[in-house]
C-alpha cells in the first residue's frame, strides 16, 4: 500500500493543481494522472540514472492502466538542458505520434523537469505536463512555479517559458537512495525558504539538523510540504514574475548562476552554488548596512552543519563573476536587481548596488 500523507494545492489565476506527497506513491502514478484528466498517451522523459531506478515502477503503473507510453531518456547532468536535446525530444515525440492530448511526464531531478517542461510548453504550442521530481531540490523548487527551460552556453535557464504542470507526485522514499551530495544540495534551497519567508521554519531546521542529516522520512515529508506551501504562496501572488514579489525566490541566485556559469555547470550542483550565493548576498547586505554579521553567521553555521560548501572557490576571479552576473535574466534596462535579507525570514529587492560592493561581498566570501 502507498501512503499519501501531505497535499499542497498550488492556486493560480487560471487554474490550480495538486502536489501529492507521500511514501511509495510513484507506484500509483496512473491513478494520480486519472484523477486529473483523461490520459490515453504519455511521453515519460527521464535521465539514464533515474530511469534505471524508477522507470520500471512507472512503466508497470501506466501499463496496467492501459495508457500508451514511450520512455525517452537523456544523459544525466546539467549539460542535458540544451537546445539540441529539446529538438531531439520534439522530433522523437512527433515520430511517436504525440498530439495535444498527450501528457509529458517528467521523471527525474531539476534538469529533467526543466527540459521536459520546456518541451511540453512548446510542443504543439503546449501540451499537458506532469512532474515526478526525484531529487530534494526538484521536490522543493521545480515542482512549484512553472518555470521551465534550457541553458545557453554561459547562461543558465536563458531560454524557457512559464508552463504549469497539471499535477505533481512527490515520493519521499526516493530521497533515501539519493546520492548524499545531491541530497545536501537540495537542503540549500530548503534553508533559502527559511531565510526569505519564514523565521520559524529556519529555526525548525536549526533544531532538526540530526534527523535531517539521517534523512528521517517524517521530517522530510514535513520539510518538503512546508517548502512547497511557502513557494506556492509566493507564486500565486506573482505567477509570471511581473510584480517583483516572486523575485524573493532568487535569493543567492544571482551569485549562484555566475558561479555555475564560470565553472561551466560542472564543478557544483545547483544547490551547492546556492549555498555559496546566499552567503555572498548576505555579505552584500552587511556592506550596505541592511543586516548585522550575525545574520550571515546563522546561515553559515546551518549550512556548515548540513555539510554544504560556503566559500567562493579561489580559482574564480571576482571580476569574471561580476561580468557573468550582468548577463543574468533579472537584468532590466541594463540594471541588476539584488535580493538581500533584512533579517532571518525576510528579504527585499535592492536596485542601484555599486559593482564595487558586489565585488567586495564576493571577496569576503572566500
Residues binding its own copies: number (CB under 8 A): 40
Site string for its own copies, 188-227 (x = CB under 8 A): ----------------------------------------
Q: Does 322 bind its own copies (CB under 8 A)?
A: no
**CB nearer to its own copies: pick between 83 and 293:** 83
Pick from 33, 121, 140, 279: which binds its own copies (CB under 8 A)?
Answer: 121
Pick from 24, 77, 154, 217: which binds its own copies (CB under 8 A)?
Answer: 154
Q: Does 333 bind its own copies (CB under 8 A)?
A: yes
Site string for its own copies, 77-106 (x = CB under 8 A): ------x--xx--xx--x--x-xxx-----
Pick from 123, 193, 265, 338: which binds its own copies (CB under 8 A)?
Answer: 123
Min separation Cβ 74 and its own copies, Å: 16
Q: Minimal CA–CA distance to 189: which of 264, 277, 80? A: 277
Q: Does 329 bind its own copies (CB under 8 A)?
A: yes
Which residues participate in catalysis according to the annotation? 125, 147, 189, 231, 241, 246, 250, 253, 257, 270
CA distance 284 to 325: 14
The H or E element spanning position 264 is none
CA distance 133 to 165: 12
CA distance 317 to 312: 10
Min separation Cβ 241 and its own copies, Å: 8
By the 8 A CB rule, do 361 and 287 touch?
yes
Q: Does 292 bind its own copies (CB under 8 A)?
A: no
Decide: helix, strand or coil at residue 51: helix
Burial of 218 (0-12, 13-18, 19+ CB in 10 A): exposed
- Which cell numbers in the block locate residue 123? 510542443
Q: Does 45 bind its own copies (CB under 8 A)?
A: no
Q: Minimal CA–CA distance to 295: which of 360, 362, 346, 364? A: 346
Pick from 149, 165, 271, 277: which binds its own copies (CB under 8 A)?
Answer: 149
- Distances in Å between the Cα of 128 and the Cα atoms of 104, 116, 141, 195, 334 are 6, 11, 20, 33, 35
- Distances in Å between the Cα of 222 and the Cα atoms of 29, 174, 216 are 21, 15, 10
Min separation Cβ 92 and its own copies, Å: 10
Q: Does 327 bind its own copies (CB under 8 A)?
A: yes
The H or E element spanning position 220 is helix 217-237
Q: Does 334 bind its own copies (CB under 8 A)?
A: yes
Min separation Cβ 158 and its own copies, Å: 6
Q: Does 241 bind its own copies (CB under 8 A)?
A: yes
Pick from 60, 199, 293, 331: which binds its own copies (CB under 8 A)?
Answer: 331
Min separation Cβ 121 and its own copies, Å: 7
By the 8 A CB rule, do 98 and 123 touch?
yes
Pairing of the two strands 16-23 and 167-171: parallel
User: Which residues form the interface with its own copies (CB under 8 A)?
Assistant: 38, 40-41, 83, 86-87, 90-91, 94, 97, 99-101, 121-126, 147, 149, 152-155, 157-162, 240-241, 327, 329-334
Amino acid at each position: 500500500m502507498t501512503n499519501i500523507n501531505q497535499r499542497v494545492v498550488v492556486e493560480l489565476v487560471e487554474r490550480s493543481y495538486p502536489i501529492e506527497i507521500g511514501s511509495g506513491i510513484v507506484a500509483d502514478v496512473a491513478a494520480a494522472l486519472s484523477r486529473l484528466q483523461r490520459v490515453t498517451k504519455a511521453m515519460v522523459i527521464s535521465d539514464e540514472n533515474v530511469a534505471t531506478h524508477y522507470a520500471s515502477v512507472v512503466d508497470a503503473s501506466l501499463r496496467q492502466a492501459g495508457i500508451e507510453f514511450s520512455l525517452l531518456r537523456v544523459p544525466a547532468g546539467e549539460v542535458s538542458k540544451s537546445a539540441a536535446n529539446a529538438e531531439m525530444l520534439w522530433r522523437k515525440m512527433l515520430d511517436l505520434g504525440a498530439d495535444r492530448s498527450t501528457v509529458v511526464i517528467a521523471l527525474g531531478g531539476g534538469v529533467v523537469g526543466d527540459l521536459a517542461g520546456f518541451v511540453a510548453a512548446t510542443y504543439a504550442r503546449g501540451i499537458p505536463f506532469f512532474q515526478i521530481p526525484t531529487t530534494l531540490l526538484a521536490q522543493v523548487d521545480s515542482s512549484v512555479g512553472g518555470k521551465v527551460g534550457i541553458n545557453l552556453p554561459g547562461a543558465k535557464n536563458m531560454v524557457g517559458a512559464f508552463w504549469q504542470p497539471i499535477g505533481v507526485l512527490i515520493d519521499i522514499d526516493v530521497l533515501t537512495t539519493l546520492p548524499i551530495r545531491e541530497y545536501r544540495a537540495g537542503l540549500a534551497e530548503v534553508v533559502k525558504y527559511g531565510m526569505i519567508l519564514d523565521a520559524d521554519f529556519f529555526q525548525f531546521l536549526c533544531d532538526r539538523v540530526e534527523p535531517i542529516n539521517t534523512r528521517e522520512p517524517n521530517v522530510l515529508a514535513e520539510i518538503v510540504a512546508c517548502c512547497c506551501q511557502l513557494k506556492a504562496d509566493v507564486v500565486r501572488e506573482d505567477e509570471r514574475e511581473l510584480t517583483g514579489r516572486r523575485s524573493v525566490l532568487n535569493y543567492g541566485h544571482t551569485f549562484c548562476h555566475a558561479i555555475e556559469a564560470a565553472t561551466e555547470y560542472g564543478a557544483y550542483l545547483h544547490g551547492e552554488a546556492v549555498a555559496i550565493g546566499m552567503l555572498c548576498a548576505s555579505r552584500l547586505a552587511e556592506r550596505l548596512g541592511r543586516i548585522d554579521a550575525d545574520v550571515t553567521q546563522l546561515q553559515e553555521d546551518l549550512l556548515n552543519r548540513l555539510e554544504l560548501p560556503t566559500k567562493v572557490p579561489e580559482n574564480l576571479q571576482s571580476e569574471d563573476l561580476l561580468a557573468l552576473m550582468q548577463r543574468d535574466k533579472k537584468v532590466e534596462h541594463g540594471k541588476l536587481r539584488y535580493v538581500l535579507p533584512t533579517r532571518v525570514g525576510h528579504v527585499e529587492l535592492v536596485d542601484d548596488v555599486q559593482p564595487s560592493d558586489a565585488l567586495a561581498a564576493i571577496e569576503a566570501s572566500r
